């Protein structure tokens, strides 16, 4: 492995399908031993980026290295250093958990005894030891995802790509996966994950990049990205449709969020009492238009909305 401090580096990655640009010059740097989150709506190019970095497809232009190896010229060396877990668990439901892991270990050229030992180690590590002799068809969604990730670690990769790893999981399953990811990083593994869950990136990522229409539109820590929107936001609930339209028109260009179905508008504020009073007096001098207000710390969802023009729920429906 190269002595570079970066586990993943990409410069000006470009990719088109059928003449339609999917990536339009993506630059990335991921520090070794960290969690990097790539956020973006459906169709932004997240999976294409991962496929290029994992050597499953080649870029039309640009360059990238993973674990110090070029993804085009040194594909075999890259593949030995990484694992890729897709959006849906790729395990054999007719086999037990232990059989899945032993089979994967044998395919990775481990001997029979070593394969059995590695399978037992991973089952224990992912809290699946008691379920190891059960057929995977009886597993919950969260258990299948953990088994899938365990299988991807049989070869002890230094870089793990997780493409929307908690898709379809309930809150407890998602929390369990987050704990697994944190445990991986403590062992020195680099985790590159794509997600549409802003809370996931906020909880896990050391650094976050927002991808939209094939371009990186923002990058930084969660705190840095939130600062781009505002430290705080003031949510105003209006008395009726007419008041909503009037205040929205007045604040045009300064709005951080609109929720017409709830008659609610959001505007940036520094959170001080003086600024909040000034905003309320500005938009509702007669004190007849605003029925209630609330002050919130800016979230990654606010960042996502400002940068992509969509909430994460809207992006998921695209």
Is residue 196 domain-shared with residue 248, that is, in the same domain?
no
Is residue 105 domain-shared with residue 155, that is, in the same domain?
yes
- Do residues 178 and 204 lie in contact, with contact meaning Cβ atoms separated by under 8 Å? yes
Is residue 99 domain-shared with residue 118, that is, in the same domain?
yes
- Residue ranges making up the domain that contains 51: 6-225
Which CATH number do you get for residue 285? 3.30.70.100
Average pLDDT, rounded, for the chain: 86
Is residue 88 domain-shared with residue 106, that is, in the same domain?
yes
pLDDT in tens, 133-182: 999 999 988 788 888 888 888 878 899 998 887 777 777 777 877 888 88
Can you give the pTM of this predicted structure?
Answer: 0.72
- Beta bridge partner(s), residue 267: 234, 255
Percent of the chain with pLDDT over 70: 90
**Total domains present in the chain:** 2
Is residue 132 domain-shared with residue 71, that is, in the same domain?
yes
Task: Let me know if residue 22 belongs to a domain.
Answer: yes
- Do residues 296 and 233 lie in contact, with contact meaning Cβ atoms separated by under 8 Å? yes
Cβ neighbours of 316 (radius 10 Å)? 13
Query: Which two tokens mark 160?
Result: 């793990």
Task: Let me know if residue 39 belongs to a domain.
Answer: yes
Is residue 176 domain-shared with residue 292, that is, in the same domain?
no
DSSP H or E run through 13 = strand 6-17
pLDDT in tens, 59-95: 999 999 999 999 999 999 999 899 888 665 577 889 9
Cβ neighbours of 252 (radius 10 Å)? 8
Is residue 212 domain-shared with residue 243, that is, in the same domain?
no
Is residue 177 domain-shared with residue 137, that is, in the same domain?
yes
CA distances (Å), origin 16, targets 21, 50, 57, 87, 94: 4, 15, 11, 22, 38
Is residue 239 domain-shared with residue 180, that is, in the same domain?
no
């Amino acid at each position: 492995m190269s002595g570079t401090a970066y586990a993943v580096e990409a410069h000006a990655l470009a990719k088109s399908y059928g003449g339609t640009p999917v990536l339009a010059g993506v630059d990335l740097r991921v520090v070794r031993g960290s969690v990097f989150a790539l956020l973006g709506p459906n169709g932004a190019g997240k999976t294409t980026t991962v496929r290029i970095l994992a050597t499953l497809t080649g870029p039309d232009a640009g360059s990238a290295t993973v674990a110090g190896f070029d993804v085009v010229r040194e594909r075999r060396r890259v593949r030995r250093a990484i694992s890729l877990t897709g959006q849906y668990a790729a395990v054999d439901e007719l086999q037990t958990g232990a059989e899945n892991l032993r089979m994967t270990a044998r395919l990775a050229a481990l001997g029979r005894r070593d394969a059995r030992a590695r399978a037992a180690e991973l089952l224990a590590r992912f809290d699946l030891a008691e379920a190891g002799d059960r057929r995977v068809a009886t597993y919950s969604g969260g258990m299948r995802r953990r088994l899938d990730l365990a299988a991807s670690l049989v070869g002890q990769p230094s870089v793990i790509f997780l493409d929307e790893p908690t898709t379809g999981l309930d809150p407890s399953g998602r929390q369990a996966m987050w704990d697994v990811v944190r445990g991986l990083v403590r062992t020195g593994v680099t985790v590159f994950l794509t997600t549409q869950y802003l809370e996931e990136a906020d909880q896990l990522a050391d650094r976050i990049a927002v991808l939209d229409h094939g371009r990186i539109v923002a990058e930084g820590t969660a705190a840095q990205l939130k600062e781009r929107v505002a430290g705080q936001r003031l949510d105003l609930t209006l008395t009726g449709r007419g008041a909503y339209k009037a205040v929205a028109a007045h604040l045009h260009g300064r709005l951080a969020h609109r929720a017409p179905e709830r008659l609610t508008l959001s505007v940036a504020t520094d959170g001080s009492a003086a600024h909040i009073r000034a905003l309320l007096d500005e938009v509702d001098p007669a004190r007849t238009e605003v029925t209630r207000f609330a002050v919130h710390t800016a979230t990654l969802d606010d960042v996502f909305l400002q940068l992509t023009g969509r909430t994460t729920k809207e992006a998921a429906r695209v």
